[in-house]
Amino acid sequence: MKDLFSKIAYLLIISVAFLGGINSPTALLLGFVFTLVCHNPFPKYSQKAFHLFLKISVVGLGFGMFINETLETGKQGLELTMFSIFLTIGFGFLLARILKLDLKLAHLISSGTAICGGSAIAAIAPVIKAKSKTISVALGIVFFLNAIALFIFPAVGHFFNLTQAQFGLWCAIAIHDTSSVVGAALGYGEEALRIATTVKLTRTLWIIPLSIFSMFLFKTKGEKIKIPYFIILFIIAIGINSCHVLPESATSFIVLIAKRLLIVTLFLVGSNISINDLKASGVKPIVFAFILWLFISVFSLLYILY
């Protein structure tokens, strides 16, 4: 009976989220609290679903963007993206030595912090032949910090009176996962959302060179490198919108559905954060991830402000 109630309640929250009844931070918090109290009734399906829904949402958001603006935004964020990735990976390697942390775990967390959270971890893990427990710990910590970022970043943005352009860029650089980047920017404004999405997806392409670097760093050969193909669909969507192939009413509807689906995605992300995995990992990996995240957040904020 309890299991049936959990399934009904879980699906009901997803329905309310899709209908626009809750915002991004609430969706993430609801997912986390739900799993804490009732346990996730669909653990395998929800994990697959949030990866799929995130990609669909991002492609859908492309129908609200134009080529010229996207290229200009990508160009503006390129320098900061390069600096932050090199600094995060380098500082992560140094910090792992200081804390005497397992290098594969440290590299996965550094990769997730430097590029795009869970997607980067999932791409780098097979390249360095990381164990399943190591992957789970890295994902758990990164998702946990994502949840915190979704609540803290908008408040910090308003405190420093960041413009939408500044906030969108900061989100894209300093928040790990694409879902939380877009979720945080969603409530800040349309311009913030456009910039955050564009810069974050440009950043995601760095998975390819980082995978090659990781292969040499850990001396592994013959492993397949995952390419984020959904970014190509995102670019095609921008092209379709820029050429006015579809009427404005249609593209506006697609963008609305994408935003609603993103809120559902954040609920699914929240429901997959495992407290047990975090406890089992011990203090060191959490301290490592937090220091690394704080470092890149402060660095990128100061860079944007000054």
Task: Look at residue 226 in the predicted model and tell me its pLDDT.
Answer: 67
Q: pLDDT for 47-64, tens place per residue?
A: 888 778 878 887 888 898
Of 236, 241, 291, nearest in space to 88 by CA: 291
Task: Look at residue 220 in the predicted model and tell me its pLDDT.
Answer: 66
Residues (pLDDT < 50) of the chain are none
Task: Look at residue 2 in the predicted model and tell me its pLDDT.
Answer: 67
Alpha-carbon gap, residue 57 to 298, rounded angstroms: 29
Domain locations in the chain?
2-305
Task: Look at residue 93 in the predicted model and tell me its pLDDT.
Answer: 93
DSSP secondary structure, the chain, as one string: -HHHHHHHHHHHHHHHHHTT-S-HHHHHHHHHHHHHHH--S-HHHHHHHHHHHHHHHHHHHGGG--HHHHHHHHHHHHHHHHHHHHHHHHHHHHHHHHHT--HHHHHHHHHIIIIIHHHHHHHHHHHHT--HHHHHHHHHHHHHHHHHHHHHHHHHHHHTT--HHHHHHHHHHH-SSHHHHHHHHHTT-HHHHHHHHHHHHHHHTTHHHHHHHHHHHTT--SPPPP--THHHHHHHHHHHHHTT-S-HHHHHHHHHHHHHHHHHHHHHHHHT--HHHHHHH-HHHHHHHHHHHHHHHHHHHHHHH-
Q: State pTM to two decimals.
A: 0.79
Task: Look at residue 203 in the predicted model and tell me its pLDDT.
Answer: 83
